[in-house]
Amino acid sequence: MDSVAAPSNVSPSTGANANQTNMRRSDQSLTMALSTQTGSTSSSVYPLPLSLEPSSCLPRIKLSEILPEDGAASLEYTKTVEDLWVSLARHGAAIIELSAEDAALVRCALESAKLYFRTRTPSSNSPPPSPRPISKFTGYIGSSSKELYYYRAGRNMLGEGEYPPPCMTDVYRCLGKASRVALGAICRHLQLRSDVFCSLLDDCPLPRNDTSSSVLLATHYRNSVPFVSNVHGVDACRQEFERGLITLVAADSPGLQVCDSNGQWYLADIGLRAGDLLLVTGRSLQHITAGLCKACVYRIVPLSSSNIPDSSKRVALMFRLMPRGNAILDGSVMAEAGQVVSESYGPVHASKFLESLSSQDSAEGTNAEKLERKRHLSSDSTLRTLLCDPMTGDLLEDAFTAVGCGHTFGSGTLKRVRETGTCATCGAVVNVDSMVPNLVLRAVAVAFDREEKRRRFQVASRKRRKELREQREKKKRLKESKGPRKSQESSEQGKGVQYPFKLNEKVLIKGNKRTPEKLVGKEAYVTSKCLNGWYLVKLVENGESVRLQFRSLEGAGESKQGAGESDSGAGDSIKQLSAEHVES
């Protein structure tokens, strides 16, 4: 197979200008073609009107402006990170602008992939696509509608019959670095460390004899598009959720639609220049951020060949930043940051999480209603979550509603909206003076707090009553186990004989037949009383603690607090009682 290299006689500036001119011509032809179909809603390609107004264009985020930097964050870095988050929250995607060198590398990789699929003869016995995103599959897959090549770093090329398209290794490194930088920028907006999720990713660089979890996918769409029929149109296209953390898409022609926060579909890659990347987020990132960063919903709709000649033969590169298979995905990081985390974002192995997503997608099929229902069911809809501020977790007892967009804020989010002047949900401009208090939501939050306090008080009362009942039953069982006493005299006599010494009293170890010889004749202090006339004493000589019975001890007439201040009469009586008991 012939390799493809970038032309050496074309300067980067000349190539960039030519690519920009071609992209402008492609945008003009696409706009003219779609403008002729806006009046007809029965088109087989676009039965739904697409928004191509300037307001729907995605903001362009320069990768150089969100690179991690030492010291305090600059105003440019903070503004760019904010723009990236607003674009992901409102539109579900963002455009990443690479440097001139990286953009040229991406263009070269697209041309290499196009030539690779053009010169390769599709085999009839190609294996079916693997439904498991965590699998280590690499190689070529061909079907009647499209061709795919999965590339993973770290695999051994020796002994393989076919090699990947040229430039795949370099593009893998380039897009891997860009995806990690974008992930760090998202973490910084969530007030987390930029490297807080690095433990979930592959080591950089990879260890020897290890295959990467992230994958670079090259796709070529053929002329025939069986999943776009004349009856169902765009609704018959397969709608997908990204399963990984972050996905970067580069294509030579538009054809990727994204569903925004309002549920409207738009052509996301219509404004991509040659070498630009489209950034979308996945389900894994939604899980570890406790639902703050929603997963992107997209579908591939190749345009008609009569409108754009090259769109029906679309070639795209998709880099999917995936977590390691043995990594644990949970929302503990967001909980430590003070966010309210639902039980649905509990710890789960990445391999099982991705396998469950694959099985759900295969079971749901391509029905849009099932996908929307699954999206709503996956989101946390508990009453406490709805009535709490997502930033601080406090109840919305000070809720205010923005007049323009209609979103409601409180506590920490309200403070942030007043500082920035933008909506934290959709990114719209908010006039702080025109915000009105949401009295209904405040009343509901107060009532919910009152019921929660009453419920907690009832739970604590039941727990206390249960503890008291268990203590009474324990005392009753102990009293029954002791049995009836023989007589009052024997009880008093036994009690006096068993505990003849006081705490901190100095005693002499006289010993008996079971006392070690090294302890006989030693002086000690009584430290505590034990059951059945046993004492715990501490030797004066070396401070060793020994457990002995009262028969092995003899009063020395001193206490630890003050030697020589003990009552001699009491000591004599105790000695007499001890001697009588020993003789008996």
In this prediction the pTM is: 0.55
CA distance 520 to 528: 20
Domains of the chain: 12-39+61-68+78-126+139-323+331-381 (2.60.120.330), 382-461 (3.30.40.10), 498-583 (2.30.30.140)
Is residue 524 within 8 A of residue 507, CB to CB? The reply is yes
Tokens describing residue 319: 């880099």
CA distance 416 to 80: 17
Tokens describing residue 34: 């779609």
Sign of the dihedral through C-alpha 212, 214, 220, 221: positive
pLDDT tens, residue order, the chain (584 aa): 344 344 434 344 444 444 444 444 444 444 443 333 333 333 333 333 444 443 346 888 999 999 988 888 899 999 999 999 989 988 889 999 999 999 999 999 999 998 888 887 655 445 544 444 445 677 888 777 788 888 888 865 544 556 788 888 899 999 999 999 999 999 999 989 989 999 999 988 888 888 888 999 998 887 544 333 333 344 446 778 888 999 999 998 888 889 888 888 888 888 788 778 999 999 999 999 988 898 998 888 765 443 444 445 788 999 999 998 888 998 888 888 888 788 888 888 888 888 888 766 655 444 444 544 445 444 444 677 778 877 777 888 888 988 878 888 888 888 888 888 888 777 778 888 888 898 988 999 899 889 988 988 888 888 889 889 988 888 888 888 775 554 444 454 444 456 788 888 888 888 888 888 888 888 898 898 888 788 898 988 888 888 888 888 888 766 555 444 444 444 454 445 444 444 44
Quick one: three-class SS letters along 21-70?
A: HHHHHHHHHHHHHHHCCCCCCCCCCCCCCCCCCHHHCCCEEEHHHCCCCC
Q: What is the pLDDT of residue 558?
A: 60
Q: What is the pLDDT of residue 513?
A: 80
Strands (DSSP E) contained in 143-200 are: 146-151
Is residue 240 within 8 A of residue 258, CB to CB? The reply is no
Q: What is the pLDDT of residue 216?
A: 92
Cα angle, residue 203 at apex, residues 94 and 132 outer, rounded to 5°: 65
Q: What is the pLDDT of residue 265?
A: 85
